[in-house]
Structure 1
Amino acid sequence: MFAGLVCFLLLCSSPAALGIESGPPAQFGTSDGDGSIDARYTIEREPDQTGRVRVSATIDLPQHVTGLSVRTPAETTVLQADGLRSDGERWRTTGDTETARLTYTVPVGLETTFGQRTADTDDWTLIARQEVSLRARWRWHVGPRPTWNESLALAPGQDGVAGTTAAYIGPHETATRTVEGDRITVIVPVSADLRPNRTAVLDSISHAKRASTAGTDHGHIRVFVAPNRLASGGYTPSNGESDVIVNAGEPVRSPVNVWVHEYRHTRQTVETTPAMDWLGEGSADYHTAALTYGAGEISEQQFRGRITTERHETADLTQPDSWDGPGAQYDKGTRVIAAIDARIREATDSSRTFETVLERLFQQDEPITLALFAETVSAVAGTDLDGFVRQAVTGPAPAVPADALTDPVPRGSGSADTTGRETNAAPIAEAGPATSNAETDAERGHSTESIRPITDRHGKWTALGTLGLVSVLLVRRQQRR
Structure 2
Amino acid sequence: MLDQLPGFRTPAVLAVVVLAVLLTGGAVTLGALGPDVDDPGPSVESVSGNGTVTVTYVDATGASDQFAVPGVDPALSNAGHDWAIVNRSSLPSALRAVDGEPGHGVVGFGEWALVGAVETATVPIDGSTLTVVVPAGRDVDPARKAGFVEAFAGPYSLSPESDERVVLVSVPDALPNEGLMYHDDRGYVTIEAFWDGDAHSVWIHEYVHARQDFRTADGMEWFREASARYLSCRFMYEQYEGVSEADLRDSLSARPKYESVVLANRTTWEGTGGNYHAGARLLAAIDAELRAETGGEHTLVDVFRTMNAGDEPVTVERFVELVERQTGNDQSWIAAAIEGDRTALERNKRPS
Asked if 2 retains the 8 angstrom alpha-carbon contact of 1:189 and 1:226, the reply is: yes
Q: Is the 8 A contact 2:132 2:142 kept in 1?
A: no
How many Å separate the matches in 1 of 2:134 and 2:47? 22
Taking structure 2 as the reference length, the TM-score comes to: 0.67
Question: Shift of residue 161 of structure 1?
Answer: 4.6
1:358-379 CA-to-partner distances (Å, cap 9, x unmatched) read 2222222221221222222222
* Distance of 1:180 and 1:323 partners within structure 2: 32
Q: Structure 2: how far apart are the matches of 1:362 and 1:155?
A: 24
List per-residue Cα deviations over 1:259-303 (Å, max 9, x = no partner): 000111111111112221111111111100000111124122111
Query: Does the 8 A contact of 2:127 with 2:161 survive in 1?
Result: no
Inter-partner Cα distance in structure 2 for 1:322 and 1:167: 34
Question: Which residue does the alignment assign to 2:293?
Answer: 347
Task: Identify if the C-alpha distance between structure 1 residues 388 and 187 changes in structure 2 by more than 3 Å, giving closer, same or farther.
Answer: closer
Equivalent residue for 2:252? 307
Whether contact under 8 Å (1:244, 1:262) holds in the other structure is yes
> What do residues 123-170 of structure 1 show as CA deviations (whole Å, max 9, x unaligned)?
5333687998x9xxxxxxxxxxxxxxxx85149999625368675212
Q: How does 1:21-36 map to 2 (within 5 A)?
A: none
Residues 76-108 of structure 1: per-residue CA shift (max 9 Å, x gap): xxxxxxxxxxxxxxxxxxxxxxxxxxxx99999
Matched residue, 2:31? none
Check conservation: 2:181, 2:187, Cα contact below 8 A. yes
Number of equivalenced pairs: 294
Structure with the bigger RCO (C-alpha within 8 Å, sep 6+) is 1
Q: Which of 211, 217, 229 pairs up with 2:156?
A: 211
SS in 2 for 1:362: helix
Name the structure 1 match of 2:281: 335
**1:287 partner amino acid:** L
Amino acid at match of 2:331: L
Helix, strand or coil at the partner of 1:153: coil
Which of the residues 191, 194, 218 maps onto 1:274?
218
Q: CA deviation at 1:319?
A: 1.6
- 1:124 equivalent to 2:68? Answer no
Partners of 1:50 and 1:120 within 8 A in 2: no
Distance 2:86 2:285 in 1: 38
Q: Which residue of 1 aligns with 2:20?
A: none
3-state DSSP of counterpart to 1:211: coil
TM-score of the aligned structures, taking structure 1 as reference length: 0.51
| Aligned pair partner of 1:258 in 179, 185, 202 | 202
> Counterparts of 2:203 and 2:166 in 1: how far apart (Å)?
12
Quick check: which one's helix share is greater? 2
1:187 and 2:146 aligned? no
Amino acid at match of 2:285: A
Stretches of structure 1 that go unaligned for 5 or more consecutive residues are: 1-41, 55-103, 110-115, 135-150, 406-481
Change (3 A) 1:401 1:107: farther
Question: Which residue does 2:238 correspond to in 1?
Answer: 294
Inter-CA distance 389–215: structure 2 relative to 1 (3 Å threshold): farther
The answer to whether structure 1 residue 323 and structure 2 residue 269 are counterparts is yes
Computed over aligned residues only, the root mean square deviation of the Cα atoms, in angstroms, reads: 4.4
SS in structure 1 at match of 2:283: helix
Post-superposition offset of 1:178: 4.4
Equivalent residue, structure 2, for 1:395: 341
Q: Distance in 2 between matches of 1:157 and 1:324?
A: 35
Aligned amino acid, residue 277 of structure 1: E
Asked if the contact 1:189/1:227 (under 8 Å) is kept, the reply is no
Classify the secondary structure of the residue corresponding to 2:342.
coil
Q: Which runs of 5+ in 2 are unaligned?
A: 1-41, 57-66
Output one character per residue of 1:290-342: Cα deviation in whole Å (capped at 9) or x when no partner. 00111124122111112334524421012221237431111011001111111
The aligned amino acid for 2:176 is A
Tell me, yes or no, if the aligned pair for 2:132 and 2:145 is still in contact at 8 Å. no
Q: Deviations over 1:406-443 (max 9, x none)?
A: xxxxxxxxxxxxxxxxxxxxxxxxxxxxxxxxxxxxxx
**2:188 counterpart (245, 249, 263):** 245
Secondary structure at the residue paired with 1:125?
strand
Whole-angstrom distance in 1 between the partners of 2:181 and 2:101: 26
Query: Residue 222 of structure 1 aligns with which residue?
Result: 167
Distance in 2, Cα, partners of 1:156 & 1:385 = 46
Contact 2:86–2:114 under 8 Å retained in 1: yes
Q: What is the aligned-residue identity percentage?
A: 25
Inter-partner Cα distance in structure 2 for 1:156 and 1:197: 16
Query: In 2 relative to 1, CA 164–320 (structure 1 residues): closer, same or farther, beyond 3 Å?
Result: closer
Name the residue aligned to 2:327: 381
Amino acid at match of 1:206: A
Q: 1:164 to 1:193 in 2, by over 3 A?
A: closer
Deviation at 1:246, TM superposition (A): 0.7
**8 Å Cα contact 2:317/2:335 also seen in 1:** no
Distance in 1 separating the partners of 2:329 and 2:101:
59
Say if 1:108 and 1:127, in contact at 8 Å, map to a contact too. Answer: no
Shift in CA distance, 285/108, structure 1 to aligned 2, threshold 3 Å: farther
**Aligned equivalents of 2:115, 2:132: Cα separation in 1:** 14
Q: Secondary structure at the match of 1:394?
A: coil
> How far, CA to CA, are the matches of 1:312 and 1:43 in structure 2?
50
Change in CA separation of 1:237 and 1:291 when aligned onto 2, cut-off 3 Å? same
Distance 1:375 1:107 in 2: 53
Sort the Cα spacing of 1:230 and 1:131 in 2 relative to 1 into closer, same or farther, 3 A.
Answer: same
